[in-house]
Structure 1
Amino acid sequence: MNFNQPNFNQPNHSNRKHYWGVMFFVLLAMGLIYSSAQFGLGSNEIEITHDDETVWQKVANLFIISGEKLPTIDDDIDYKMPKEEKNRWDILILGVRGEDDEDAEEAGALLTDTMMVLSYDMATKKTSLISIPRDLYVRIYGTKKNKINSAYEIGVLRNNALGFTKKLISRITGVYIDNAIVLDFSSFKTLIDDLGGVDIELERPFTESQQWGYEFSLPAGLNHLDGQTALYYTRSRFSSTDFDRAQRQQKIILAIKDKVLELDLLADPIKSLSILNSIRKNIETDLNIFDANGLYELSKQFDSDSNIKRYVITTENLVYDTHMQTEYGNLYVLLPVGDNLQGIKQLFQEILK
Structure 2
Amino acid sequence: MIGGALYLRSVEKDIDRVDAFADVPEEGRPQAVANGAMNILILGSDSRDPESTGGSRTDTIIVAHIPKDRSSAQLVSIPRDTWVNVPKAKNGGHGGRDAKINAAYAWGGIPLMVQTVESFTTVRIDHVMIVDFAGFKEIIDALDGVDINAEKSFTSIHPPFRKFEQGMQRMDGETALDYSRQRKQFADGDFARIRHQQQVIKAILDKAVSGGIVTNPGRLNSFVKATSSAVSVDEKMSLVSMATDLRNLRGRNLTFVTSPTKGTGRVGSESVVFANTEKAKTFYDAVRRDSVDEILASSK
Give the TM-score taking structure 2 as reference length: 0.78
Residue deviations 1:18-53 (CA, integer Å, cap 9, x gap): xx9xx98x78964653224xxxx148x9xxxxxxxx
Q: CA RMSD in A?
A: 3.0
2:185 to 232, 236, 239: 239
- The CA deviation at 1:343 is 2.6
1:310 to 237, 256, 261: 256
Looking at structure 1, the residues matched to 140 and 215 of structure 2 have their Cα atoms a distance apart, in angstroms, of: 19
8 Å Cα contact 2:64-2:74 kept in structure 1: yes
Aligned to 1:33: 12
Q: Which amino acid aligns with 2:283?
A: L
- The CA deviation at 1:290 is 5.0
- Larger Cα Rg: Structure 1 or Structure 2? 1
Paired positions, count: 271
- Are 2:297 and 1:349 aligned? no
2:101 to 148, 162, 165: 148
1:319 to 254, 262, 274: 262
8 Å Cα contact 1:33-1:288 kept in structure 2: no
Aligned to 1:132: 78
- Are 2:136 and 1:228 aligned? no
Alignment of 1:157-196 (within 5 A): 161=110, 163-196=111-144
Looking at structure 1, the residues matched to 146 and 86 of structure 2 have their Cα atoms a distance apart, in angstroms, of: 36
- The CA deviation at 1:287 is 6.0
Change beyond 3 A, Cα 1:96–1:31? farther
Residue deviations 1:183-225 (CA, integer Å, cap 9, x gap): 11221112111221111234x433145x214643322332011
Q: Which amino acid aligns with 1:321?
A: T
- Are 2:45 and 1:96 aligned? yes
- The CA deviation at 1:243 is 1.1
1:336 to 256, 262, 275: 275
Change beyond 3 A, Cα 1:28–1:231? farther
Aligned to 1:49: none
2:280 is paired with a residue whose SS is helix
Residue deviations 1:216-238 (CA, integer Å, cap 9, x gap): 33223320111111111111011
Aligned to 2:154: 207
Q: Which amino acid aligns with 1:35?
A: D
Give the TM-score taking structure 1 as reference length: 0.67
Percent sequence identity is 25
Is 290-299 or 341-350 further displaced after alignment? 290-299
Mark the runs of 5 or more structure 2 residues left unpaired by the alignment: 20-24, 89-95, 294-300
Looking at structure 2, the residues matched to 350 and 123 of structure 1 have their Cα atoms a distance apart, in angstroms, of: 16
8 Å Cα contact 2:214-2:220 kept in structure 1: no
8 Å Cα contact 1:95-1:185 kept in structure 2: yes
Looking at structure 2, the residues matched to 81 and 245 of structure 1 have their Cα atoms a distance apart, in angstroms, of: 31
Change beyond 3 A, Cα 1:82–1:257? same
8 Å Cα contact 2:136-2:173 kept in structure 1: yes
